[in-house]
Amino acid sequence: MYRYFFLPILVLLLATGTVSAAGEKLLLVGSGEPDPKDILLVDYLEEWGYEIELREHLAKHPGNLAGIDFVFISESTSSANILDAYEDSAIPVVNAETWTYDDMGFAPDGTFNSDPGDDLTIVNSDHPITEGFKDKVTVSKPAVALMTCSGFEGDVDILAVRADNDDLVAISVYEKGAKTMKGTTKAIHVNIFPHSTGWQMVTDDGWELIHRSILYALGQIPFDVAPEDKLAVTWGQIKKWQ
């Protein structure tokens, strides 16, 4: 019953563009245009409705960002090629290349990890990215390299860690204006877990966490429509009513 009651609301949200990616453009940074490893990622991003501009890591970075709504950094990127180019980005950054974190001012070098793994533990279930998930989430099947870090510093929100080692953070957020080791952020940064060799192994839950990370970076969740109506809808409510 609740599901059918909710459907008209969801349709309204989609129609008003609140949860739609229509017209939004991302810069995908990787080791090719695209690297073959990132083809499945590209497929998902296009399926979600994003227009993609490709920029391989040997090009100039950050380069021209006119018309770009957010940056997605794939792990296929070599951190030595982009260094701190997106540290002061004025647009949101979703980052899967853990080895840029020292350049960004998020964590010291030597605190990064990419050991094979399959499960994450959600440590903040109140955040829109992780809301509604069980405490333990399988994000890769079978296990594959997961991009994590044990040394985050500054004003960081820790959302999920490796299930087999809670020192290793797999999903984290620096909000706009957050303090880092090098200063403050000019835009939101969401750091995520996928390794570019493992896109084929990412589970449905893993892809949903990636998608939510993008939506949150863009300020699209929690959903907020018609301020006069005071109606807010979160992913947790959608999952509950479906």
Q: What is the DSSP string of 54-69?
A: EEETTS-SS---TT--
The whole-number pLDDT of residue 16 equals 38
Euclidean distance between CA atoms 169 and 148, whole angstroms: 5
Q: Once rounded to an integer, what is the mean pLDDT over residues 135-161?
A: 98
Return the SS3 of 80. helix
Considering only CA atoms, which of 100, 136, 98, 137 is closest in space to residue 114?
A: 98
Q: What is the pTM of this model?
A: 0.84
Range with top average pLDDT, 28-42, 129-143, 209-223: 129-143
Alpha helix stretches (DSSP H) within the chain = 2-16, 39-47, 79-82, 101-104, 204-217, 235-241
The whole-number pLDDT of residue 237 equals 42
Q: Sorting pLDDT into bands at 50, 70 and 90, what band is 227?
A: very low
Q: Sorting pLDDT into bands at 50, 70 and 90, what band is 222?
A: confident
Q: Tally Cβ neighbours within 10 Å of residue 148.
A: 25
Which helix (H) or strand (E) segment is 231 a member of? strand 231-233
Considering only CA atoms, which of 86, 93, 24 is closest in space to residue 60?
A: 86
Q: Sorting pLDDT into bands at 50, 70 and 90, what band is 223?
A: low
The residue with greater pLDDT, 28 or 2, is 28
Q: pLDDT (tens digit, 9 = 90+) per residue, 37-57?
A: 999 999 999 999 999 999 878
Average pLDDT, the chain: 85
Q: In this structure, which long-range contacts are made by residues 57-64, counting pairs with CB atoms below 8 Å and at least 24 apart in sequence?
A: 57/29, 57/30, 57/31, 57/81, 57/82, 61/29, 61/85, 61/86, 62/86, 62/89
Q: pLDDT (tens digit, 9 = 90+) per residue, 87-101?
A: 999 999 999 999 999
Residue written as tokens 């929100």? 157
